[in-house]
């Protein structure tokens, strides 16, 4: 059963979180007042966590990789997912085939997500496998995916959640590529992994609102004074043109307040929009671009549904007063968090239905909503630095319940993406 919030205490708990940024005192109050009656509440911690969470400043070229893992599996069984809703199912304990890689075996992981290295004492979150009710997901094969990606580009577009999925995909693939034949580098707004022998690239492109905004700089992006240009997208799309596989995601940046400053038409005419209205307008701008630019013969488009947060433990454990920190098990059984906006889900669904272009909707929200145990919590960084001892001692204010540890939940998103790519490839 979905646990509904029972008191205002939940919203009050936003305050210390927002106060984590000393300058935000006034804002915190505003958020609190605005959102008392809104269900769009649980992401307010985002301002705290998204700051400085653009593209990490680093350049990696060819790492040692002595750790083979079992990604290279040529006798994988192709399971037909055509008539199966792979998003309905359950998490099952599987310490035999999970995780697909380890923090040590993937040299490309950034410290934001290496929870073990950052001191997380338990590693149970790595051993759960998503089991759809009516079918099996095809066994992930890095070799097979690289084969599909030969002479092609796969690009993830979105925010830092989406960057986590990119990082996961790179880790899933890189183990089968020998040293010297792979590289990862960063150019403004992008991270690009190159598998030389396949002439394949896996890319991440920073566009937290998908459309243009004043947060588009990959590292120096404004969080509080967000301004979204609902009808402008061309600065971004020039980076997407001709990409063979495009994977989009955008949610958490919208959810700071129920209203957002935006422009439509005249760039000087800044107005406050209801977030759901603004989100819809932005997706329409995106949809128009798709319909006039995507070549369905050669390009595939995917949209990842929203990634849930776990900011209030009272939602799954009534009477408790924490957040996702110290959670060691998934939620088993029906659960839908209050921060998981059904309005936004509906807008995405409607927009995709009205498109001429076929976009595959990867409905990962429910399965991720079960994973209260899988966030980075205090075993992460903020503004490029690992949390201090003092901060770690204060999980109520400092636990990140938005981003995910790797290996972890984003690997499952990629397994599902892979299942669809496989299907598209053979059809």
Q: Which residues are catalytic?
A: 160, 400, 403
For residue 104, state whether it binds ligand NAG (rule: CB under 6 A). no
Smallest gap from Cβ 64 to ligand NAG, in A, equals 26
The site for ligand NAG, by CB under 6 A, has a size of: 25
Residues 6+ apart with CB under 8 A from 216: 189, 206, 207, 208, 235, 236
Spacing of C-alpha 176 from chain mean position: 24
The tokens describing 309, both together, are 């947060």
- CA neighbor of 260 nearest in space, from 276, 238, 244, 245: 276
Site for ligand NAG in 323-352 (CB under 6 A): 349
Smallest gap from Cβ 32 to ligand NAG, in A, equals 14
* CB nearer ligand NAG, residue 4 or residue 320: 4
- Among 137, 260, 331, 405, interactor with ligand NAG by CB under 6 A: 260
* CB nearer ligand NAG, residue 176 or residue 260: 260
Residues 6+ apart with CB under 8 A from 201: 152, 153, 154, 192, 193, 194, 195
In angstroms, the Cα distances linking 354 to 22, 241, 256 are: 44, 22, 28
- Among 6, 61, 274, 320, interactor with ligand NAG by CB under 6 A: 274
* CB nearer ligand NAG, residue 257 or residue 382: 257
For residue 261, state whether it binds ligand NAG (rule: CB under 6 A). yes
- Among 3, 102, 135, 361, interactor with ligand NAG by CB under 6 A: 361
Cβ neighbours around 423 below 10 Å, total: 16
What's the CA gap between 30 and 10, in Å, rounded? 15
* CB nearer ligand NAG, residue 57 or residue 389: 57
| Residues forming a β-bridge with 272 | 261
Smallest gap from Cβ 236 to ligand NAG, in A, equals 9
- Among 111, 259, 329, 424, interactor with ligand NAG by CB under 6 A: 259
- CA neighbor of 247 nearest in space, from 156, 164, 159: 156
Q: What residue ranges bind ligand NAG (CB under 6 A)?
A: 87, 95, 151-153, 199, 201, 212, 216, 220, 229, 235, 257-261, 272, 274, 276-277, 349, 361, 363, 366
């Amino acid at each position: 059963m979905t646990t509904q919030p029972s008191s205002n205490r939940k919203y009050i708990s936003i305050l210390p979180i927002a106060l984590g940024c000393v300058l935000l005192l006034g804002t915190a109050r505003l958020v609190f007042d605005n959102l008392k009656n809104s269900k769009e509440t649980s992401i307010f911690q985002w301002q705290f966590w998204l700051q400085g969470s653009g593209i990490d400043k680093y350049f990696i070229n060819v790492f040692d990789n002595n750790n083979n893992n079992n990604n290279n599996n040529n006798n994988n069984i192709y399971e037909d997912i055509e008539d199966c809703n792979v998003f309905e199912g359950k998490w099952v304990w599987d310490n035999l085939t999970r995780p697909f890689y380890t923090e040590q075996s993937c040299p490309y992981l950034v410290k934001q997500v290496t929870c073990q290295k950052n001191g997380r004492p338990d590693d149970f979150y790595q051993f759960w496998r998503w089991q759809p009710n009516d079918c099996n997901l095809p066994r992930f094969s890095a070799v097979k995916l690289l084969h599909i990606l030969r002479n092609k580009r796969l690009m993830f577009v979105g925010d830092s959640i989406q960057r986590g999925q990119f990082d996961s995909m790179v880790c899933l693939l890189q183990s089968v590529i020998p040293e010297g034949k792979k590289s990862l580098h960063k150019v403004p707004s992008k991270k690009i992994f190159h598998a030389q022998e396949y002439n394949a690239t896996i890319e991440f492109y920073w566009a937290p609102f998908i459309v243009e905004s004043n947060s588009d700089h990959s590292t120096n992006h404004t969080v509080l004074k967000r301004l979204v240009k609902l009808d402008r997208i061309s600065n971004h799309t020039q980076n997407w043109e001709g990409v063979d596989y495009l994977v989009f995601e955008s949610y958490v940046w919208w959810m700071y307040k129920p209203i957002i400053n935006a422009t439509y038409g005249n760039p000087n005419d800044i107005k406050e929009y209801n977030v759901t209205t603004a989100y819809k307008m932005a997706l329409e701008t995106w949809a128009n671009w798709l319909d006039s630019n995507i070549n369905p013969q050669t390009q595939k488009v995917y949209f990842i549904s929203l990634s849930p947060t776990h900011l209030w433990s009272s939602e799954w454990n009534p009477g408790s007063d924490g957040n996702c920190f110290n959670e060691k098990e998934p939620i088993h059984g029906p659960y839908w968090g209050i921060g998981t906006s059904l309005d936004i889900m509906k807008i995405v669904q409607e927009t995709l239905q009205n498109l001429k272009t076929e976009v595959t909707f990867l409905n990962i929200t429910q399965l991720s909503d079960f994973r209260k145990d899988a966030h980075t919590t205090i075993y992460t960084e903020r503004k490029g630095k690992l949390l201090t001892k003092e901060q770690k001692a204060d999980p109520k204010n400092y636990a990140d319940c938005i981003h995910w540890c790797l290996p972890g939940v984003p690997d499952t998103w990629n397994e599902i993406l892979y299942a669809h790519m496989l299907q598209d490839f053979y059809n």
